[in-house]
Structure 1
Amino acid sequence: MKTIFGTLINCAMFVPALHAQVIDNTDWKAFLSRHDLVWKQLPTRFEDAAYTGNGKLGAMVFTADNGQALRWQMGRTDVHFQAMRIPIGDLLLKPRGKILSGTMRLDLWNAEVRGKITTNKGAIEFRTFTHTDQMVNVFETIATGDEKVSWSFAPGLAVNPRKIHRKEPIEVADRNEPPVATTEGDIFISFQPLKPAGGHATAWKIVDSGDGKTTVYASVGFADNDRAAKAEAVAAVAGPSVSEESHRRWWHNFWPEGFVSIPDTRLESFYYIQMYKMASATRPGRPALDLMGPWFRGTPWPKIWWNLNIQLSYWPQLTGNRLALGESLCELIDGGAEALAKNAGKFQADSAAIGRSSGYDCVRPVGAEICNLPWALHNYWLQYRYTMDEAKLRRLFPLLKRSINYYLHHLAEGTDGKLHLTQGYSPEYSNQPTPNPDCNIDLALLRWGCETLLATADKLKVDDPLIPRWKDTLARLTPYPQDENGLRISASVPFAESHRHYSHLLMIYPLYIMTPEQPENRALVIKSLKHWMGMPARLAGYSYTGAASISAMLGEGDEAARYLNKLLDTKILPNTLYVESGPCIETPLSAAASLNDMLLSSWGDRIRVFPGVPAAWKDIAFHNLRAQGAFLVSAARKNGKTQWVRVKSLAGEPCRIRPGLNGDVKATIPLKVVEPGVFDLRLAKGEEAFLYSGDALPVMTVAPVAADPARCNYYGLQK
């Protein structure tokens, strides 16, 4: 937080408390059980399947063969051909009898799927999980009655998925040799060659324990030579025994990192499923999130998309206090630094950029759309702001400098004496020129970038020669184009038709450099939001999440909740996945971030507690959500009133807070009143403070609020 502490004057009540603490009464196993996905009939497709993963390897469970087999679809995020994701294949469980019915449950607490198939010959109980550390998918079955399980493998089609989606001819260069089936001892292998060399290998081992019980261990190897790909997969299934205990231990440690409970049980369930999904889809040291995670469905989006998708995917872990899940994006950018420089073409000596989409090599020369890398670096900046890890900031600084340099190369002084961008493009808005000068998204990112570079140079004590240029750019950059309807797409293009992206509003959200707390901008923010949402024809799922977060910023909690429920009512699939022609994982993940924004925000110079909650949410509790400046925040609300707030500093940064308490605010350390309802706290690293109103420090307990039984276990498939 950018605050300066002076002499403590206008102090609120200071009441020392020697043993104040938050009592966490959450029984996580029981609490999460009300959010498990439950299937009262077997799923038939990706859109309602169960899924498991460990940030690289994954699997989906749904039926095949017209409902007469169970498909265990193998997935691995980094398996690609021509820099595009491709399907790997399915292990198929075929019972002896005819399947009559089935049920399943995704147990969030243990990160495993359990189910039962009933046939005319008996029954098959099954359990599956993707081990958190070992690159192994595990599938256990117990057959009873006259049932018996048989297994087979159906390879995926190793061709460009965009061409399949568009029904384009598959040329010879786009084809690969057919897969080759072999065995090594008791291990089955299916190897798919990929041009120009190497391929992916699926290996599986079936262990028959007698009494109808079998266990299948499966893994996927991928390398630029066939021997290495096979060896990787075989080693995973033939290696040390798979530890269920270590798998569960990781997840049992993961869940309590951050706690949220609200009266809307469906939205609460949705939130925790997104945390499960993100932790299943990415981890430190594993691939960054593309649009699918470690799962696959036919798609026109088989790469990383840099003009919104990857950015939105990496928001829920921030306030949600699961920051490790954001590290893979920083690692991708760090590892791709050389490619990002080359993407800048003739400016590569001092600049960096990336086009609309790329593979994991980050190779995509920049075109008209020049906003992509600066926006991704805003995510990198947020990872720093929520940790205050100076080493991360030092890695970011040269990358951000290069990214903003690309903008600076395209600045020119106009006849008005202002600096104007001569290049640019607003993502996916139709009927705009190419290039499109002075796009609002580019002006916003350039402003944010220059401000952040100056703040970073000051923080790191760097006397950079470009400091005068950054200051001059901020002083003379042309204002954001606007008209009677609010913010425009660009100087020459009004916002005149429905558009799913909020690219023209980026300075409002997520950059927060134009906010309703700036009196001169509040009316413009409101007008621009209403104009955008007032043309709904082409709105997409993430349109509603963006509108929800902007509404929360405005303090319009009812509107924020309405937008999120509109998303859940109309766009979200039974398993909480989301599809726009192909899977788009960012939309449901960004909805979880919007809920965080309603409960706790920390943009600008202050923390805000319950900034955008609806009036109907009388009781709310959260524990160890995280704010910028590396603060952990807990709070409880009862009967529509905030009862107490606890703030713990992890980095010793200055802390300014709007706790949302009524009446005279007291605290366990001295408070400085900054303005009505806003206070400064002096917190050393590791120190915490408790804020409350009333005569005595309340008992500070966090526990789940009462659930609506009709909304428990909402997701999955009901009959």
Structure 2
Amino acid sequence: MPAGNGTLGAAVWAEDGFSAQLNRADTFPNLKSAGRLTVPGLFPLMRASDYRGRLRLHDADLVQQGGGMSARSYVRADKDQFVLEVTGADPNVTQTAELRLWDGRTPTAHAAKGTAALAETFTDEESKGRTGAVAAVTALGRDVKAEVVDARTVRVSFKPRPDGGFRIVTGVPSYTGGDLGKAARTALAGSGGSGIDRAHRTWWHRFWAGAAPMRITSADGSGEYMENLRAQQLYMTAATMRGPVPSSHGGVINMFSPWKDAVHWSADHWWHFNLRQPVYTNFGADTEEFNTPYFRLYLDRLEEMRAWTRAHWKGSEGVCVAEFLRYTGTAEACDSTRPPDWLNRIVTTGPEVVYNLWLQYRYTGDRSILDESYPLMRDVTRFYLSILEEGDDGKLHLHNVNALETQWDTSDPAPDLAAMRVIFPIVAGLADGRGDRTLARDLRATLPKIPDFRTVTRNGEQVIAWSGTDEQGRNTQNPDTEVLFPWGVYGQDSALMQSTFRNRVYVQTREWSEDALQAARLGRGEDVKNLLIQGTKDFQVFPSGFTAHGKNADALRESNYYNGWGAVVSSAVQESLVQSYEGVVRVASAWPKGWDVAGSVQVQGGHRVSAEVKGGETGVVGVQAARDDDLRIQNPWPGRKVRVADGVSGRPLAGPTDAGVIPLRVKKGHSYLVERVDRPVSSFRFQGVTGEPATEVRHLGNRTLGVETSVPQIPGELVSVVAPDKLRPLVRAEQGATTHVDRHYVISELPAELNGAELIRGANNDSKMTSPAGYLTFDLKAPATVHVAFDARGKGTWWPGWLEKDGFTETGATVKTTDTTFVILKKDFPAGRVTLGPNSGVSGQGSSSYFTMVGRR
């Protein structure tokens, strides 16, 4: 389960009693973890038959209880400290807290006066910049002692207080060298005494009080599931996006990784396409302050991007903002001297950043955003002006650029044509106000020369083409629907846009697919619902709400948490309820049938629009004005007469009218009700949106939010695995136990005599390995019988020779799993070290890897 404060993240799970991997968002270039904290004294809690746990989003903490113990863990909102508070421990039993790094790491270790620490710095070869982190741990208890265990491990030991309580604090600030002892003490400052969570709770309660609420109910539970995914998305954003750069790389949230130092895609680059989805969620949720790291990524690197553009895009002016941007401001894109590829020559990133900056201003009203952003806005448009080429038709064309990752080396991509139509008038207006009249004139002169969108025929209907030419498709983005989102050039009243969406080439292929959001903008409520449900079933493989990149992945084979889908879900439900992208506020224009909702959405201008929909009928519409403004609200009840009333007194202010669009002049701080004349809202009583803690796991088909049941790890009474490390966590052999650490196969039938044996699971990724000879090594604490379960499909073909050589004999019994049937072989061993060989004896062959069960002789 994830915990974080915007710069420090923790993945918390029940391994070795209690485990938390600690990750910062700024240890470039490789985002290496600060280490794993383990507390084996919590094994009794995690294994208790009455165990229960809850990630409390409102308080941003994980609370676990069982066996008379409790453990509350969180990352402080006000400091880079991970806190574990425990009650109910035996006051006479010594506890330990261990910080550990992994092979290949070269930290400096420190231990003194009850504090232990590991620190490591990293130098970027390209920029010579240095980053790093220190992880310092201490405990509040009795007889606290610290020690260096080995080059990559430190430990704190202590006894709980007489009442059985103790606290472990791990401080993890950034570190670039210097006195490690001093850095460790600084990292742990303020961790003693009571009330250290006061600021933490205050921060999170204020966050939730400020976020636009939404409660969804449905007969089949699908609406509630989407509500929960939205809440998880808002929590994740607040827990990761408070630093100087975004925490997501290629859609992966490394701050919550439990996978040691594994980083997928890129650790030091960002794909813009994966950054944009949360931006729109934040606009609608009134959490737009968490867009700041996204904007800082580009604003803080303007000079570096200019220099890159001058050097790599010959003959251009201004700045090309790379789709694939490094944290140093350099890129592996925006290079006209290189052939096109997946990312090179995508030039719509800059316009999107410009437009999002403009929207940030529109939602917040903060003009300082425009003052700081204008140099970037100016240079992005100058780049476009410099690469446009006039054709024989008198139009200005783009050549040899990409249509996203889908088409390479094409002309006039639909996203670029839409981008210029949207941002050129915006920047021209800003240029006028800053005396930049030449740019304003050039932008306005260019607008009528932008080519029309080319159309083609798909499935017998006219649709917008990806671009002006017909290069093959490579990735599964739909450049044609970009005209709708993010650009909003055409909307739900456009027959061409509707047909383009219906006939899009790629339908929701990845977790970043924005089909449901686009369906909401087109007023297609049932498509919204179906796409959200199907996408969640396809992508959301983790019970914490995170997703995999592709469809139907096995969570045990993944090593990444993706967050794009949560943002797509959130934006889709928000825009289904309220949207304002065409300058008109539409209420419930795409709300799905069968879902009831009460909630609020922020619209452009920073205003909150609240609505309630029950049984397919919109009953309540309210507006809370953020500033003086002129709104245009589409009649929520087409053809019905409506009026506008004061939100406090109920006094009519405008109407009655049955017009399709209602003009409304609002004043800052005032509230307004839009009501049907035949069913006045003023007769309704206000009731705030509230919620209750979940008492059960949410289900959506085969997906869940929460863990319903599991077979817990055991400390090992007989067995201690030495290698490989991934097979070290033991469980009991019983029905429902997983048999492999990297697959979801579980035992369905087990001989009675093996029930309760200590189970060393297999690793199916190693199923075809024929070496090393000593693949699995473990120590036996007493004489025992070792049973190995081998895939029956390999008998007589690829079973390895070490089985017979080492004296294993078949028992005649089998184990059945949800994968296949395994034949059981056994051998008696004395106490001491045991070494077993690999899964296969034939190169390139092998099915499910073997697993091992150990019982007393």
User: What range describes the TM-score normalised by the shorter chain of this pair?
Assistant: 0.7 to 0.9
Aligned-partner SS, 2:171 = strand
CA distance in 2: counterparts of 1:198 and 1:547, whole angstroms: 39
Structure 2 CA distance for partners of 1:229 and 1:391, relative to 1, 3 Å: farther
Q: Confirm whether residue 110 of structure 1 aligns to residue 59 of structure 2.
A: yes
* Partner of residue 137 from structure 1, selected from 57, 68, 82: 82
CA distance in 2: counterparts of 1:664 and 1:709, whole angstroms: 44
Greater RCO structure (CA 8 Å; 6+ sep)? 1
CA contact (8 A) 1:329 1:380 kept: no
CA distance in 2: counterparts of 1:710 and 1:136, whole angstroms: 30
Aligned-partner SS, 1:565 = helix
Q: Confirm whether residue 482 of structure 1 aligns to residue 435 of structure 2.
A: no
CA contact (8 A) 1:621 1:702 kept: no
Shift, 1:185, TM fit:
2.7
Structure 2 CA distance for partners of 1:607 and 1:673, relative to 1, 3 Å: farther
Say which is worse superposed, 186-195 or 53-62, in terms of deviation.
Answer: 186-195
The corresponding residue for 2:772 is none
Q: How does 1:52-451 map to 2 (within 5 A)?
A: 52-64=3-15, 68-81=16-29, 84-95=30-41, 100-101=47-48, 102-116=51-65, 124-144=69-89, 149-156=95-102, 178-195=106-123, 197=130, 199-208=132-141, 209-211=160-162, 212-223=164-175, 225-227=176-178, 231-232=182-183, 234-239=185-190, 241=192, 243-257=196-210, 258-263=212-217, 264-283=223-242, 289-290=248-249, 291-292=252-253, 294-296=255-257, 297=259, 298=262, 299-346=264-311, 350-364=317-331, 366-367=334-335, 368-429=345-406, 432-433=407-408, 435-451=409-425
CA distance in 2: counterparts of 1:275 and 1:675, whole angstroms: 37
Shift, 1:710, TM fit:
7.2
Structure 2 CA distance for partners of 1:661 and 1:701, relative to 1, 3 Å: farther
CA contact (8 A) 1:278 1:589 kept: no
CA distance in 1: counterparts of 2:182 and 2:642, whole angstroms: 64
The corresponding residue for 1:689 is 672
Aligned-partner SS, 1:655 = strand
* Partner of residue 504 from structure 2, selected from 532, 535, 544: 532
The letter of the residue matching 2:57 is L
Aligned-partner SS, 1:691 = strand
The corresponding residue for 1:500 is 476
CA distance in 2: counterparts of 1:598 and 1:328, whole angstroms: 27
Structure 2 CA distance for partners of 1:656 and 1:455, relative to 1, 3 Å: farther
Structure 2 CA distance for partners of 1:400 and 1:198, relative to 1, 3 Å: closer
Structure 2 CA distance for partners of 1:303 and 1:615, relative to 1, 3 Å: same
Shift, 1:345, TM fit:
2.1
Shift, 1:465, TM fit:
1.1
CA contact (8 A) 1:672 1:680 kept: no
The corresponding residue for 2:588 is 610
Q: How does 1:635-654 map to 2 (within 5 A)?
A: 635-654=611-630
CA contact (8 A) 1:644 1:700 kept: no
Structure 2 CA distance for partners of 1:303 and 1:104, relative to 1, 3 Å: farther
* Structure 1 length-normalised TM: 0.81
Shift, 1:89, TM fit:
1.6
CA distance in 2: counterparts of 1:178 and 1:502, whole angstroms: 45
Post-superposition Cα deviations, 1:359-379, rounded to whole Å, max 9, x if no partner, equal: 433332623222222222322
CA distance in 1: counterparts of 2:294 and 2:705, whole angstroms: 29
The letter of the residue matching 2:708 is Q
CA distance in 1: counterparts of 2:656 and 2:399, whole angstroms: 46
CA distance in 2: counterparts of 1:232 and 1:591, whole angstroms: 42
Aligned-partner SS, 1:137 = strand
Post-superposition Cα deviations, 1:643-700, rounded to whole Å, max 9, x if no partner, equal: 2222122221211112513622121264479983311111122233211113542224
Q: Confirm whether residue 466 of structure 1 aligns to residue 434 of structure 2.
A: no
CA distance in 2: counterparts of 1:96 and 1:590, whole angstroms: 38
CA distance in 1: counterparts of 2:697 and 2:111, whole angstroms: 48
Post-superposition Cα deviations, 1:300-325, rounded to whole Å, max 9, x if no partner, equal: 23234234011112221111111221
CA contact (8 A) 1:651 1:684 kept: yes
Say which is worse superposed, 556-565 or 98-107, in terms of deviation.
Answer: 98-107
CA contact (8 A) 1:69 1:93 kept: yes
Post-superposition Cα deviations, 1:388-408, rounded to whole Å, max 9, x if no partner, equal: 222212222221121122122
CA distance in 2: counterparts of 1:344 and 1:665, whole angstroms: 54
Q: Confirm whether residue 657 of structure 1 aligns to residue 633 of structure 2.
A: yes
CA distance in 1: counterparts of 2:184 and 2:599, whole angstroms: 42
CA contact (8 A) 2:305 2:329 kept: yes
CA contact (8 A) 1:75 1:294 kept: yes
The letter of the residue matching 1:235 is T
Question: Across the two proteins, how many residue pairs are aligned to each other?
Answer: 627
CA contact (8 A) 1:284 1:325 kept: no
CA distance in 2: counterparts of 1:255 and 1:201, whole angstroms: 31
CA contact (8 A) 1:57 1:135 kept: yes
Shift, 1:232, TM fit:
4.9
Aligned-partner SS, 2:174 = strand
The letter of the residue matching 2:573 is L
CA contact (8 A) 1:260 1:622 kept: yes
Q: Confirm whether residue 699 of structure 1 aligns to residue 666 of structure 2.
A: no
Say which is worse superposed, 674-683 or 50-59, in terms of deviation.
Answer: 674-683
Aligned-partner SS, 1:200 = strand
Q: How does 1:515-530 map to 2 (within 5 A)?
A: 515-517=491-493, 522-530=494-502
Aligned-partner SS, 1:506 = helix
Identity %: 20
* Structure 2 length-normalised TM: 0.68
CA contact (8 A) 1:674 1:680 kept: no
Shift, 1:350, TM fit:
4.8
CA distance in 2: counterparts of 1:530 and 1:229, whole angstroms: 60
Structure 2 CA distance for partners of 1:307 and 1:323, relative to 1, 3 Å: closer
CA contact (8 A) 2:19 2:39 kept: yes
Give unmatched runs, 5+ long, in structure 2.
Answer: 142-159, 218-222, 336-344, 550-557, 646-651, 710-857
CA distance in 2: counterparts of 1:304 and 1:200, whole angstroms: 20
CA distance in 1: counterparts of 2:641 and 2:658, whole angstroms: 13
Aligned-partner SS, 1:110 = coil
Shift, 1:604, TM fit:
1.6
Post-superposition Cα deviations, 1:595-628, rounded to whole Å, max 9, x if no partner, equal: 11111101122111112101212x32113x2110
Aligned-partner SS, 1:484 = strand
CA contact (8 A) 2:7 2:24 kept: yes
CA contact (8 A) 2:316 2:387 kept: no
CA contact (8 A) 2:346 2:401 kept: yes
CA distance in 2: counterparts of 1:404 and 1:345, whole angstroms: 15
Say which is worse superposed, 436-445 or 194-203, in terms of deviation.
Answer: 194-203
Say which is worse superposed, 135-144 or 702-711, in terms of deviation.
Answer: 702-711
Shift, 1:487, TM fit:
2.7
Post-superposition Cα deviations, 1:532-575, rounded to whole Å, max 9, x if no partner, equal: 26x45x811222xx111111122111111111111212211211
CA distance in 1: counterparts of 2:347 and 2:533, whole angstroms: 33
- Cα RMSD for the two superposed structures: 2.9
The letter of the residue matching 2:97 is W
Structure 2 CA distance for partners of 1:230 and 1:643, relative to 1, 3 Å: farther
The letter of the residue matching 1:111 is A
Shift, 1:450, TM fit:
0.9
Shift, 1:95, TM fit:
2.9
CA distance in 1: counterparts of 2:631 and 2:392, whole angstroms: 44
